[in-house]
């Protein structure tokens, strides 16, 4: 059973399995948080070149977020001590920034979440380091398109399963594997909340979409099989078959007749 509650400004919001339905204040808050996160991602195109370390990316993300008067949501989150996730090549998600240097031809996903006045803007993009190979380019382009196809069916009357189906059918047409172990999630005053947003699913299944719902769509797509494993560090998820993996993420809000994307690139740089 799915329970929807109307979110009010003074309400204590707990991770209690309910789906929060937000009003105009929520949309305004998410717009500001989403914009900052998108600006942070926009600023990375000049920084991500062969030879830099993923720690350099993290330092930049932290500085820019704090300078804007916001907080990186991942800093101190469940023991995580960095301001973003940096996932290179066969790393699916939650790669931890460190001294590793990016190399020509790598792909790297950077996932940032800023907290602005209590609202979370969660978004990620996959970047090319130098000039990508043809296989990497195709994977990244299809992954972006898959996310957008999921977002296109995000409207009242449809369900979470419709989003998963749109993503899965497109990715599998290209013979790619859609990761099942990680999902999108409700977002707002909480970083990770109900519902779980599947990236593979059957039409008409799962919670129905209603105006005021906020959640992420963040498919992880592999050239090979869908299977992942988490490394000893407890965070880094990699493809079991070592094939390349790409991801894109937007935070969105369901409106009366469709959805609003909170994390659109103000510079129009979101497309790979």
Helix (H) / strand (E) containing 214: strand 214-217
CB of 99 to ligand MF3, least distance (A): 18
Parallel, antiparallel, or unpaired for β 19-21 and 4-6? parallel
Decide which of ligand MF3, Co ion, none touches 159; Cβ closer than 5 to 8 Å per partner kind. none
Out of 106, 111, 162, 193, the only residue in the binding site for Co ion (CB under 5 A) is: 111
Nearer to ligand MF3, 15 or 135 (CB): 15
Please, which residues have CB within 8 angstroms of residue 33's CB and are 6 or more apart in sequence? 70, 114, 115, 116, 117, 119, 120, 121, 251, 262
* Interface ranges with ligand MF3 (CB under 6 A): 74, 77-78, 80, 85, 94, 111, 113, 122, 216, 218, 235, 249
Q: Are 67 and 111 in contact (CB under 8 A)?
A: no
Q: Are 169 and 199 in contact (CB under 8 A)?
A: no
Nearer to ligand MF3, 17 or 23 (CB): 17
CB of 24 to ligand MF3, least distance (A): 25
> If binding is defined by CB under 5 A, does position 216 make contact with Co ion?
yes
> If binding is defined by CB under 5 A, does position 193 make contact with Co ion?
no
Decide which of Co ion, ligand MF3, none touches 74; Cβ closer than 5 to 8 Å per partner kind. ligand MF3
203: number of Cβ within 10 Å? 15
> Whose CA is closest to 211, among 155, 170, 146, 160?
155
Nearer to ligand MF3, 168 or 263 (CB): 263
Q: Rounding to the nearest 10 degrees, give the CA dihedral for residues 145, 218, 30, 13.
A: 150
CA–CA separation, 254 and 167 (whole Å): 18
Nearer to ligand MF3, 24 or 71 (CB): 71
Q: Are 219 and 199 in contact (CB under 8 A)?
A: yes
CA–CA separation, 26 and 34 (whole Å): 12
Nearer to ligand MF3, 39 or 74 (CB): 74
Out of 26, 48, 93, 122, the only residue in the binding site for Co ion (CB under 5 A) is: 122
SS3 48: coil
CB of 204 to ligand MF3, least distance (A): 26
Binding to Co ion (CB under 5 A) within 147-186 occurs at none
Helix (H) / strand (E) containing 230: strand 228-230
> If binding is defined by CB under 5 A, does position 58 make contact with Co ion?
no
CB of 247 to ligand MF3, least distance (A): 9
Contacts with Co ion, 237-266, as mask; x by CB under 5 A = ------------x-----------------
Contact residues for Co ion (CB under 5 A)? 111, 122, 124, 216, 249
């Amino acid at each position: 059973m799915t329970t929807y509650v109307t979110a009010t400004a003074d309400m204590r919001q707990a991770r209690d399995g309910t789906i929060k339905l937000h009003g105009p204040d929520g949309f305004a808050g998410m717009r500001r948080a989403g914009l900052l996160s998108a600006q942070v991602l926009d600023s990375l195109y000049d920084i991500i070149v062969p030879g830099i370390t993923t720690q350099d990316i993290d330092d930049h993300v932290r500085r820019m977020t704090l300078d804007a008067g916001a907080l990186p949501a991942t800093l101190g989150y469940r023991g995580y001590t960095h301001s973003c996730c940096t996932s290179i090549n066969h790393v699916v998600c939650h790669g931890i920034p460190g001294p590793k240097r990016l190399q020509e031809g790598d792909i790297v996903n950077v996932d940032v979440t800023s907290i602005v006045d209590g609202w979370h803007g969660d978004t990620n993009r996959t970047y090319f380091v130098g000039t990508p190979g043809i296989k990497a380019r195709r994977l990244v382009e299809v992954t972006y398109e898959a996310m957008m196809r999921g977002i296109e069916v995000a409207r009242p009357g449809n369900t979470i399963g419709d989003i998963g189906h749109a993503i899965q059918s497109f990715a599998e047409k290209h013979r790619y594997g859609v990761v099942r172990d990680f999902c999108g999630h409700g977002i707002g005053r909480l970083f990770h909340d109900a519902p779980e947003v599947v990236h593979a699913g059957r039409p008409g299944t799962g919670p129905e979409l209603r105006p005021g719902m906020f959640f992420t769509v963040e498919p992880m797509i592999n050239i090979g099989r869908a299977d992942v494993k988490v490394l000893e560090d407890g965070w880094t998820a990699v493809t079991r078959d070592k094939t390349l993996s790409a991801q894109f993420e937007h935070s969105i809000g369901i409106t009366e007749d469709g959805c609003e994307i909170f994390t659109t690139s103000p510079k129009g740089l979101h497309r790979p």
